[in-house]
């Protein structure tokens, strides 16, 4: 490890948020320094509680995360936020919509907020989010709030990263039914019916509770946890303490049932595969020889693309032309 990476890791462990932000940027940029810092701090027991917040666009996730920050700070918790935003089509960076909604917390030394760009990655998270969560933990934060991008209903990756996954619904969009179809309902540990002051909230709650009964029956035989449904109006802070209490109850359940240990093992496995998916292509191409010449031959129709790809996967070399 370079002296620069070692110094950054030491500063990060001491709670230096500038070092934390720099290390996350290295991860996002694919800089070797980021991987070095991550290796230095990884392997320590998880201390921070990760709460994932996901759901469809328009459900008020960012406003809810903002309200959760306020409640967590009231309870004396240091809070790290990883808010995944769509990528700018021009710079490739995050559009920062989430950070704008949470700007009142930016001067609080007990709060760290990082917007992360998806950069085309599907699943609701950025490729560096898992590593960033480990870094925020190492920096001494008590809770890590992870907000997905909110562009659809296939944002299931957060369930592999978070200890507790909150799925946010809202009246009037039919999402209580769509969530079940897409699998979001199945990954929820806690349900939040946000904007519960809108017309149709009672009907949405009835539909969600009916689906919850079906999901509870489906999980019969598994460690017993019935995902609660909490009504919130995040813009006013209504229901947010109860939502956080529900997350705390889930945390207690995981510890008491042993489910927390199983999930920790699964997270380690998922991180392993994620690292392979992210790093293997670049390393294969880095080992490949005569790449430019082969690409030129492919474009000219002089070589078969399948044969070239197979040669790279088999041993890193490209076929002779």
Answer yes or no: is pLDDT of 201 > 90: yes
- Which two three-digit tokens encode residue 94? 């995050």
Q: Is the pLDDT of residue 180 over 70?
A: no
DSSP 3-state of 169: strand
Question: How high does pLDDT run on average in the chain?
Answer: 82
**What per-residue confidence (pLDDT) applies to 173?**
65
For range 71-92, the mean pLDDT: 79
Closest CA to 49 of 111, 165, 142: 142
Q: What angle do CA 291, 297, 299 make, to 5 degrees?
A: 105
Sheet holding 49-54, edge to edge: 111-117, 79-85, 143-147, 49-54, 164-169, 190-193, 229-231
* 227 and 190 Cβ atoms separated by less than 8 Å: yes
Whether this prediction's pTM lies above 0.85 is answered by: no
| Rounded Cα gap, residues 285 and 288, in angstroms | 5
Q: How far is 64 from 232, CA to CA, in rounded Å?
A: 8
pLDDT of 174: 60
Nearest residue to 146 via CA among 273, 131, 29: 131
CATH of 44-257 given 3.30.420.110, 3.30.200.20, 3.40.50.300, 3.40.1360.10: 3.40.50.300
Helix axes 17-29, 32-41, angle to 10 degrees: 120
Q: Give residue 138's pLDDT.
A: 96
Cα separation, 162 vs 133, in Å, equals 9
Query: What's the mean pLDDT in 143-150?
Result: 87
> Does residue 155 carry a pLDDT above 60?
no
Angle formed at CA 164 by CA 160 and CA 170, multiple of 5 degrees: 100
Spatial contact of 274 and 131, defined as CB atoms under 8 Å apart: no
Residue 120 has pLDDT above 50, yes or no: no
Q: Which of 4-13, 107-116, 174-183, 272-281 has the lowest average pLDDT?
A: 174-183
Is the model's pLDDT at 219 over the cut of 70? no
pLDDT of 225 reads: 85
Q: pLDDT band for position 94 (50/70/90)?
A: very low
C-alpha dist (Å) from residue 166 to 142, 163, 191, 193: 18, 10, 6, 10
Q: How many CB atoms lie within 10 A of CB 294?
A: 21
For the chain, domain boundaries: 1-41, 44-257
> pLDDT (tens digit, 9 = 90+) per residue, 234-261?
999 999 999 999 999 999 999 999 999 9
Mean pLDDT of 127-149: 91
Asked if pLDDT for residue 299 goes beyond 80, the answer is yes
């Amino acid at each position: 490890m370079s002296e620069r990476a070692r110094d950054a890791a030491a500063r990060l462990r001491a709670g230096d948020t500038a070092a934390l932000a720099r290390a996350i940027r290295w991860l996002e940029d694919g800089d070797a320094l980021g991987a070095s810092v991550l290796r230095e701090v990884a392997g320590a027991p998880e201390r921070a509680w990760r709460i994932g917040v996901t759901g469809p666009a328009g459900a008020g996730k960012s406003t809810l995360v903002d309200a959760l920050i306020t409640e967590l700070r009231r309870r004396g918790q240091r809070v790290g936020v990883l808010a995944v935003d769509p990528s700018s089509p021009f710079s490739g960076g995050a559009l920062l919509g989430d950070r704008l909604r949470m700007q009142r917390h930016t001067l609080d030394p007990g709060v760290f907020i990082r917007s992360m760009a998806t950069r085309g990655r599907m699943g609701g998270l950025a490729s560096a989010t898992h590593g960033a969560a480990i870094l925020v933990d190492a920096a001494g934060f008590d809770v890590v709030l992870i907000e997905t991008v909110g562009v659809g209903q296939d944002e299931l990756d957060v369930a592999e990263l978070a200890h507790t996954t909150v799925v946010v619904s809202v009246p009037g969009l039919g999402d209580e039914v769509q969530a079940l179809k897409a699998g979001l309902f199945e990954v929820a540990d806690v349900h939040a019916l946000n904007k519960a002051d809108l017309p149709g909230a009672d009907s949405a709650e009835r539909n969600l509770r009916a689906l919850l009964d079906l999901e509870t029956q489906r999980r019969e035989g598994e460690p017993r946890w019935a995902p609660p449904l909490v009504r919130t109006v995040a813009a006013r802070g209504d229901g947010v303490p109860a939502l956080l209490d529900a997350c705390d109850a889930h945390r207690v359940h995981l510890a008491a049932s042993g489910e927390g240990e199983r999930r920790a093992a699964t997270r380690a496995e998922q991180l392993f595969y994620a690292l392979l998916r992210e790093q293997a292509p670049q390393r294969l191409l880095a080992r490949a020889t005569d790449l430019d010449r082969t690409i030129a031959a492919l474009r000219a129709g002089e070589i078969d693309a399948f044969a070239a790809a197979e040669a790279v996967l088999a041993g890193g070399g490209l076929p002779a032309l």
